[in-house]
Chain A
Amino acid sequence: MGIKYLDITGVGIEFDTNGSKFRALQNVNLRMKKGEFVSLIGHSGCGKSTVLNIVAGLHRATEGGVVLEGKEVTEPGPDRAVVFQNHSLMPWLSVYENVELAVNQVFRKTKSRAERREWIEHNLQLVNMDHALDKLPGEISGGMKQRVGIARCLAMQPKVLLMDEPFGALDALTRAQLQDSLMEIQAELGNTVIMITHDVDEAVLLSDRIVMMTNGPAASIGEILDVNLARPRDRLDLAENPEFVHLRQQVLEFLYAKHSQPAKAAQETPQPERESAAVVEALSAEEDSGAKTGGPDSEAA
């Protein structure tokens, strides 16, 4: 059923660290539909950011490639906006100016000055930051900075919104607030999102699919989990929802039972047949949207 929108095919990357080669990713395959929300989860250092950076165009894949709406990704661009982990606002620009920089770049030719102003304010309103337009990033809290970072990306109207642990550095309350805001915004705008997270609850709450990565080196996609919980989702209702609990359990099992230690996993994973089988399964799981889980690991178990 899915018209493919974003297509990551056979992506692998080898870093050259002063002479010695380091293979970070091998044969990563993922297809996304328009408006889909996908989380990437996996242990630290497995290569999640690297996948994201390849989609963003900040890294070039050594083999394989990324195709977005029929066009191959060769360089970074505003159609694949990235929310970085530590907000990355320009500290010398005010909240308004930070968003303005992006908006002027993207809509220089298509929107008038007044329209751009309105658009900037509208996007800051979406993340509830319209009260601090003239504040410098140094003068607002971490959660507020992250909101502005999200507004900056939304304002570019990207085809895909890429988020690298956007809420990782925030306290639990602020994180919950921002997750709710993000769900509302995504419901309203229908963004296609790839989000990296370390937080299992966050992954289940927000995503349509959870992509679980094996440990590096030569990391790949281990399993893909479909989350078919009805939207809009409410964190309080879900806490006792058996399906939510089950999904959560499956992610935890993947992370802590099947791929707990990087060293152990490294011995297990480099089995090409299993890797490609996982991919085929994952892709067919997407076609056959009824399936809840994909990947041989779960079925083999």
Chain B
Amino acid sequence: MSDTATLKPDDRYQQLLARLGSRSFIEGLILPALGILVFLLAWQFSANRIETSLGKFPGPTQVWEQIENLGAEHKRERAKEAAFYQRQEERNARKLARDPDAVIKIRNYTGKPTFFDQIITSLLTVAAGFFIANLIAIPLGIVCGLSAATYKAMNPIIQVFKPVSPLAWLPLVTMVVSATYTAEDPVFDKAFLNSAITVALCCLWPTLINTTVGVTGIDRDLVNVSRVMALSPMVHVRKIVIPAAIPMIFTGLRLSLATGWMVLIAAEMLAQNPGLGKFVWDEFQNGSSNSLGRIMVAVIAIGLIGFMLDKLMLTLQKRVSWDKSAVLR
């Protein structure tokens, strides 16, 4: 850095050029940008050629319009909501002014959820499913990894249920939830529970399998050290098994979250959970000339969020990993 300061402006310009021409710059920025550009052009070009019953397939420009539309709708809806609460408050204030003992009612706003509300719902649902799944998968994986007998017992079950599609689980989950979840004042929506449990059933397996593999693969010598120190089983798991298996557990968690997010959209479509899946389904049923564009927005949003979730897990993994030299990608 210090030598940059002492350089003449001309040199600095040269240096900048050199940097722009350097491999890392080309690979880091230019190539991805080029890829996106080519993709957009190809998309626009082919979209114009596809006629559907709802008009032309949306190209990038139409999709951009819909993004703006959805944003505007969200703002309008929020404004309506604010106005609703303000009116309610004023009405209640007037009531109280007339008669201090009046019973005032506070109603919740029940407007249509916007695209962004639906994203939030989807994220909450996938988080719930992911949480339930790993609450079971990590401990079970540790037990399977420590005890060969348990693993042998569990293995057929794992192998059979692992490839099952969420769509097959969903009807069963729906029936069981409606039969067992009969609280008077339910905290969770049934559709939310259905989707979350379906997601959990599908994203259980990657963590379970990877945790088992991670625990089985602990260095024999480290296990022997633990035996020599006569660590109790709990301390052994906490101080040796979990740290040693953390990289594999996180590999499992990342796969699990990716699976969960993928499964979620299908589950929401069928369960009518007010999330992105339902948004796509409703637009499809709606069949207006904007529908395809709006679905395309959802597709892109789903992709971007999936990507960000993966990045989030990667960051977490790097944070907790003791092996700082390991290359994670």
Which residues does A use to contact B, with CB under 8 Å? 56-58, 75-78, 80-82, 84, 86, 88, 90-93, 101-102, 105-106, 136, 138, 156
Contacts and interface: CB of A to CB of B under 8 A. Distances in A.
A105 B231 contact: yes
Given A91-B322, A136-B322, A138-B325, A78 B229 contact: yes
Contact of A86 (B221, B230, B235, B239): B221
Contacts of B243: 90, 92-93
Per DSSP, chain A at the interface is loop
B224 A58 contact: yes
A77 B243 CA distance: 22
A84 B227 CA distance: 13
Contacts of B231: 101, 105
Contacts of B230: 75-78, 105
B246 to A, nearest CB: 8
Contacts of B219: 88
Interface in B224-240: 224-225, 227-231, 235, 239-240
B231 to A, nearest CB: 6
Per DSSP, chain B at the interface is helix
Given A90-B240, A105-B235, A138-B323, 16 more contacts: A75-B230, A76-B224, A78-B228, A78-B229, A78-B230, A80-B228, A88-B221, A88-B222, A90-B222, A92-B244, A92-B246, A93-B243, A101-B239, A106-B229, A136-B322, A156-B229
A93 B240 CA distance: 10
B223 to A, nearest CB: 10
Contacts, number: 58
A2 to B, nearest CB: 26
Contacts of B229: 78, 101-102, 105-106, 156
Contact of A91 (B228, B235, B323): B323
Interface in B292-329: 322-325
A234 B30 CA distance: 66
A101 B228 CA distance: 12
Nearest to B225: A88
- What are the nearest 6 A-B pairs in CB distance? A92-B322, A88-B221, A92-B243, A76-B227, A76-B228, A105-B229
Nearest to A88: B221
B326 to A, nearest CB: 10
A76 B323 CA distance: 29
Contacts of B244: 90, 92
Contacts of A102: 229
